[in-house]
Structure 1
Amino acid sequence: MVRGKIEMKKIENATSRQVTFSKRRNGLLKKAYELSVLCDAQVSLIIFSQRGRLYEFSSSDMKKTIERYRKYTKDHETSNHDSEIYIQQLKQEASHMITKIDLLEVHKRKLLGQGIASCSLEDLQEIDSQLQKSLGKVRARKAQLFKEQVENLKAKEKQLLEENVKLHQKNVIDTWRGSNEHQEKYRVIDLNLDVQTDLFIGLPDRNC
């Protein structure tokens, strides 16, 4: 036999309501016990009937469970409260940043010469002063870069001059060595020419 679906609303008949309460209460207590045993969970169940009668189940000491629940809810509420305060602070900081960004955008447009028709004389003087300061910083940075480039070029020129001197000295030494070797060669040849020998070229002497 198929069990019909029960509409979830208050049972008007008192007898039927009491019967349903007893059945479901016992089933709920049984499920709580099974959950505590099977899953090693700390389970506490408190039921008050319509007449005010108490039914309860606890896998451990009921008071300790209640104290643990109170502590948890208190810590959780404190944590939620701190989170809400932190979120509010973040929202305020975001709002301040948006306002600051808007002001910077307006100031930037004024420095670019946009939207200055509504500026007063004092505002224009302040903008002019800021532009002069910025221009001074740009020129100082430009001069510094030029100076660094000149110093680098001078250092490179010095290095090239030193290398040129070394190459010139090496060329002179190599030329001198080549000249000495050439003279030494001819000196050997001259010595060989001065050597005397008994070799005679021509007709033999008849008196011999």
Structure 2
Amino acid sequence: MKKMMEQCEIYRSGYFHAERLQEEDDVQDLKNEVTVMVNSIELLRLHCRKLMGQYLGSCSVDELNEITIQIEKSLTLIRSRKISNQPSSFRVLPKFWQAKVHEEEVGKLKAEIAGTRELVNERTTLHEMV
């Protein structure tokens, strides 16, 4: 009987020890997951602040261009939603807003083309100098 009690005690202590190790592993995994989530939340907050115009001094030109593009896309989306939610008596306005949005896009593309042409001309001039 004593031998059987000892075997039960050995089995029980081994079982609880393995269970305790599993719990410790689970806790460590949860801690790691929380750390990753905290970092992700902080990155999202920083990105949100940048989109709202805060801390732009630390941004590179490329990041500023990306932010500008994102804001312009958001404005276009908001305008299109606003137009689609208007009552039927204002159906004439959507074409006006659509034309305005297209004019803005065309103007931006023209400015981009002009900038590209200037760069090509400058590059050609520099290449000729060499």
Alignment of 1:99-110 (within 5 A): 99-110=39-50
1:150 corresponds to = 88
Larger-gyration structure (1/2): 1
In the alignment, which of 134, 152, 163 is matched to residue 74 of structure 2? 134
State the 4+ residue runs in structure 1 displaced beyond 6 angstroms.
none
SS of residue paired to 2:53: coil
Query: Which is worse superposed, 136-145 or 125-134?
Result: 136-145
2:8 corresponds to = 68
Deviations 1:45-78 (CA, angstroms, capped at 9, x unpaired): xxxxxxxxxxxxxxxx111111111111111011
2:56 corresponds to = 116
SS of residue paired to 1:117: helix
Q: CA RMSD in A?
A: 1.5
Take 1:104 and 1:144, find their aligned partners in 2: how far apart are those partners?
A: 30
Take 1:62 and 1:134, find their aligned partners in 2: how far apart are those partners?
A: 77
Q: Which amino acid aligns with 1:64?
A: M
Structure with a larger share of its residues in helix: 2
TM-score after normalising by structure 1: 0.40
Take 1:141 and 1:79, find their aligned partners in 2: how far apart are those partners?
A: 55
Q: Which amino acid aligns with 1:106?
A: L
TM-score after normalising by structure 2: 0.63
5+ residue gaps, structure 2: 90-130
Cα deviation, residue 133, structure 1 = 2.1
